[in-house]
């Protein structure tokens, strides 16, 4: 399955910084760094810039390729924060991580290995400041729809971008959404509308990555259908990011009601990789990295 998907992959690869990650490579691991008191899984664990930075360094040591720094929870029912509060949370972390890159020759220090910084925000001003401080990626869970200036920021700064699909907003997305008739095709088409807006502004096609938005205004079956259909999204010519880490829909699957969702998350990452995803976004980097390395070993030996 895996080899077949790679051979038929129409995605151009994902350009981040000066690197072009080819679709034939195993997926990048994006580690989640939430500088928030109320995120659905790890809210409050790393809610100061210093503790978030320390957590980010741990994720690098565990094998993260990208660090996704966010200062506003997107869990259903969460309360939006001001631009200034979000910047106060994320900017010191982004700045510290950017300074970490390349400063050490110690092989045991994560600053000696290449990694990239992403900012998880829907606010144009936050994205602008983080890019100035050294971030490489804007990860917008609204696909540049919640702030009319965001697409322009992506174009002006030269950022790579993740367009995440969502209907509704943080407070309503799970309670007030129109059921899908064909979730895969509808999500694909809605993402392509946003892609076109970026292309029209001059954003390089290779810098755009799409995310079907697992858990963002979807039913359990919708999420499962999207997880099974990564290859369908590749037909549009864009790399795919999958973010399903520890999400609540997992606990609604029969038999997984009491799960801590770690093992299903690892399994979902393998499914995403087999489907051709270019990046998987996770809280548990060590477990995700080990599973992908194992999959790579199987692939190199012609097993999958």
- Two tokens, residue 213: 């938005």
Q: What is the pLDDT of residue 4?
A: 45
pLDDT tens sequence across 99-117: 986 544 343 555 556 899 9
Set 89, 247, 261, 289: catalytic member:
247
Q: Is 179 exposed, middle or buried (0-12, 13-18, 19+ CB in 10 A)?
A: exposed
Res. 2: pLDDT tops 50:
no
Q: What is the pLDDT of residue 151?
A: 98
Which residues are within 8 A (CB) of 105 and not within 5 positions of it... i.e. 6 or more apart?
A: 112
Say how far apart CA 284 and CA 181 lie, in whole Å.
Answer: 33
Res. 144: pLDDT tops 80:
yes
Say how far apart CA 128 and CA 154 lie, in whole Å.
Answer: 8
Active site residue 247: yes
Q: What is the pLDDT of residue 299?
A: 81
Q: Among 7-16, 269-278, 292-301, which is the least confidently predicted range? A: 7-16
pTM: 0.90
Q: What is the pLDDT of residue 47?
A: 73
Hey, what long-range contacts does 18-24 have (CB within 8 A, 24 or more apart)?
19/114, 20/206, 21/239, 21/278, 23/234, 23/239, 23/276, 23/278
Set 15, 188, 246, 281: catalytic member:
281
In the chain the domains, ranked by start, together with CATH numbers, are: 2-299 (3.20.20.20)
Identify whether the C-beta of residue 295 lies closer than 8 Å to the C-beta of residue 273: yes
Q: Interhelix angle for 183-200 vs 220-227, to 10°?
A: 70
pLDDT tens sequence across 26-67: 899 999 999 987 545 555 566 788 999 999 999 999 999 999
pLDDT classification of 168: cutoffs 50, 70, 90:
confident
Active site residue 22: no
Q: What is the pLDDT of residue 100?
A: 85
């Amino acid at each position: 399955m895996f080899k077949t998907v790679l051979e038929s992959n129409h995605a151009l690869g994902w350009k981040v910084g000066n690197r072009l990650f080819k679709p034939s490579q195993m997926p990048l691991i994006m580690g989640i760094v939430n500088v928030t008191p109320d995120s659905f899984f790890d809210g409050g664990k790393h809610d100061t810039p210093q503790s978030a930075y320390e957590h980010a360094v741990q994720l690098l040591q565990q094998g993260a390729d990208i660090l996704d720094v966010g200062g506003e929870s997107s869990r259903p029912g969460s309360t939006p924060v001001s631009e200034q509060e979000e910047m106060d949370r994320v900017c010191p972390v982004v700045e510290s991580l950017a300074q970490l890159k390349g400063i050490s020759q110690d092989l045991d220090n994560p600053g000696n290995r290449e990694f990239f910084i992403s900012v998880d925000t829907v606010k144009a001003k936050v994205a602008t400041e983080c890019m100035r401080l050294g971030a490489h990626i804007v990860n917008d869970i609204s696909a540049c729809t919640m702030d009319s200036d965001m697409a322009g920021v992506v174009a002006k700064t030269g950022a790579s971008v993740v367009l995440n699909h969502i209907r509704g907003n943080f407070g309503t997305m799970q309670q007030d959404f129109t059921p899908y008739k064909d979730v895969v095709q509808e999500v694909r088409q809605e993402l392509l509308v946003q892609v076109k807006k970026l292309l029209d502004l001059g954003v390089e096609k290779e810098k755009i990555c799409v995310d079907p938005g697992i858990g963002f205004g979807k039913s359990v079956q919708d999420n499962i259908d999207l997880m099974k259909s990564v290859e369908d999204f590749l037909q549009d010519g864009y790399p795919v990011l999958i973010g399903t880490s520890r999400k609540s829909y997992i606990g609604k699957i029969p038999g997984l009601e009491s799960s801590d969702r770690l093992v299903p998350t690892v399994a979902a990452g393998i499914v995403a990789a087999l489907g051709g995803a270019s990046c998987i976004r996770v809280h548990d980097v060590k477990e995700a990295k080990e599973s992908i390395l194992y999959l790579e070993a199987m692939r190199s030996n012609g097993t999958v």
